[in-house]
């Protein structure tokens, strides 16, 4: 089930679009395919129910479900104009909430968009958040940046799983004073299936987010084209971040405390709290 979730979550990320102002959106036709609706007519009914839910929640339907037209190629034809929508994250959440509950992909979509919507709400007021919710926001950002870093590393020649493991180790070693992934895993006392990033506090997560984002940018900027150069770049960027922390006198990442709860535990608690809340939130129908 965990592997299935990872694949399907990635499919929702793959169809995500980004406006020039940084706002995320999804095309309804793309979401239709991701949610495994063969016919637009059937999916359009789900959209109608979602738009009604949006209206009943006192939100602007047009803001969350923007009408657009799209040209699709037809056999032996120049193309056909069809209806589509630009959907906000909240619109997608309402759609999966109103989808066919018998579909396993719908259940996965509900979890994905609930978490993503909650993360966006939290990001808007980050400085007012408690520690656990700050962790949720930064961990979500890291997941997205890690995908970009993986693509940049692949373009730089880091192809196999073994090469990528070495590449990842290089970054951690630079930031953690020579400690590898295995070393950090051991220091935090984690189980085999537990991930280091899921047991970091917000300060440690932010340091790693900076490492990831700056390495991704540097790989592209310098047009790195070999695994060795990619590894060196990852190490050097991370080491510079570590040296900056030393110069500022802040706590080094390996010395930061390990949180008691994993990111997954916090997510489950937040979703449960939202569903039981009597206050109208963005997640309400």
Choosing from 41, 75, 110, the residue where a domain stops is: 110
**115 lies in a domain?**
no
Average pLDDT estimate for 28-42: 94
29 found inside a domain: yes
Residues 150 and 72 in one domain: no
Q: What is the DSSP letter of 69?
A: E
Q: Is residue 284 in some structural domain?
A: no
Q: Is the domain of 133 the same as that of 252?
A: yes
Highest mean pLDDT among 88-102, 176-190, 266-280: 176-190
Tally of domains within the chain = 2
Q: Are the C-beta atoms of residues 2 and 65 closer than 8 Å to each other?
A: no
For residues 204 and 257, give the distance between their C-alpha atoms in angstroms, rounded to a whole number.
9
Domain that holds residue 51: 2-110
> Based on the domain organization, do 201 and 235 belong to the same domain?
yes
- 274 assigned to some structural domain: no
Report the C-alpha gap between 124 and 134 in whole angstroms.
Answer: 11
89: nearest Cα among 18, 163, 174: 18
pLDDT tier at 98, thresholds 50, 70, 90: very high
> Is residue 17, in this structure, part of any structural domain at all?
yes
Domain match, 86 and 143 both: no
Judgement on whether residues 187 and 253 belong to the same structural domain of the protein: yes
Q: What is the tens place of the pLDDT at every residue in 107-149?
A: 888 878 887 777 777 677 787 888 998 999 899 889 889 999 9
- Among 54, 83, 110, the domain boundary falls at 110
Examine the pLDDT at 37 and tell me if it is beyond 50: yes
In this structure, the answer to whether residues 131 and 245 fall within a common structural domain is yes
Whether 103 is covered by a domain: the verdict is yes
CA atoms of 136 and 123, how far apart (whole Å): 9
Q: pLDDT tens digits, residue range 148-166?
A: 999 999 999 999 999 999 9
Find out whether 62 and 47 touch, Cβ atoms under 8 Å: no
Q: Which residues is 271 bridged to in the sheet?
A: none
169 in the same domain as 97? no
Q: Are residues 90 and 199 in the same domain?
A: no
Q: Is the pLDDT of residue 7 over 70?
A: no
Q: 3-state class of 250 per DSSP?
A: coil
Residues 247 and 133 in one domain: yes
- pLDDT of residue 26 exceeding 90, the answer is yes
Mean pLDDT of the chain: 87
Kindly state whether residues 131 and 231 are assigned to the same domain. Answer: yes
Residue 198 domain-assigned (yes or no) = yes
* Helices 202-221, 227-248: crossing angle, 10 deg rounding: 140
Residue 184's closest CA among 99, 174, 129? Answer: 174
Tokens linked to 36: 């495994």
Query: How many H-runs (helices) and E-runs (strands) does the chain carry?
Result: 12, 4
Nearest to 116 by CA among 98, 148, 91: 91
Note whether 106 and 133 are same-domain residues: no
* Both tokens assigned to 250: 């802040």
Are residues 253 and 156 part of one domain?
yes
Does the residue 36 lie in any domain?
Answer: yes
- Sign of the alpha-carbon torsion through 122, 128, 130, 132: positive
């Amino acid at each position: 089930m965990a592997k299935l979730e990872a694949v399907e979550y990635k499919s929702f990320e793959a169809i995500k679009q980004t406006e020039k102002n940084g706002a995320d959106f999804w095309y309804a036709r793309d979401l239709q395919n991701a949610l495994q609706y063969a016919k637009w007519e059937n999916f359009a009914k789900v959209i109608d129910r979602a738009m009604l839910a949006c209206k009943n929640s006192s939100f602007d339907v047009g803001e969350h479900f923007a009408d657009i037209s799209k040209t699709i190629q037809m056999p032996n034809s120049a193309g056909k104009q069809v209806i589509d929508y630009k959907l906000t994250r909240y619109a997608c959440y309402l759609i999966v909430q109103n989808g066919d509950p018998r579909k396993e992909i719908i259940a996965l979509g509900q979890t994905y968009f609930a978490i993503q919507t909650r993360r966006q709400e939290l990001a808007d007021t980050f400085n007012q958040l408690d520690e656990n919710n700050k962790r949720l926001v930064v961990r979500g950002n890291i997941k997205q940046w890690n995908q970009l870093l993986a693509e940049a590393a692949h373009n730089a020649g880091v192809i196999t799983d073994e090469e990528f493991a070495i590449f990842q180790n290089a970054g951690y070693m630079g930031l953690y004073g020579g400690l590898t992934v295995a070393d950090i895993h051991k220091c935090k006392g984690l189980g085999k299936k537990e991930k280091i990033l899921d047991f970091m506090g917000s300060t440690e997560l932010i340091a790693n987010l900076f490492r990831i984002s700056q390495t991704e940018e540097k790989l592209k900027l310098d047009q790195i084209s070999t695994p060795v150069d990619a590894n060196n770049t990852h190490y050097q960027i991370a080491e510079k971040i570590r040296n900056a922390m030393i110069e500022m006198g802040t706590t080094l990442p390996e010395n930061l405390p390990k949180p008691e709860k994993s990111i997954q535990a916090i997510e489950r608690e937040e979703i449960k709290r939202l569903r039981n809340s009597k206050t109208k939130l963005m997640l309400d129908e």
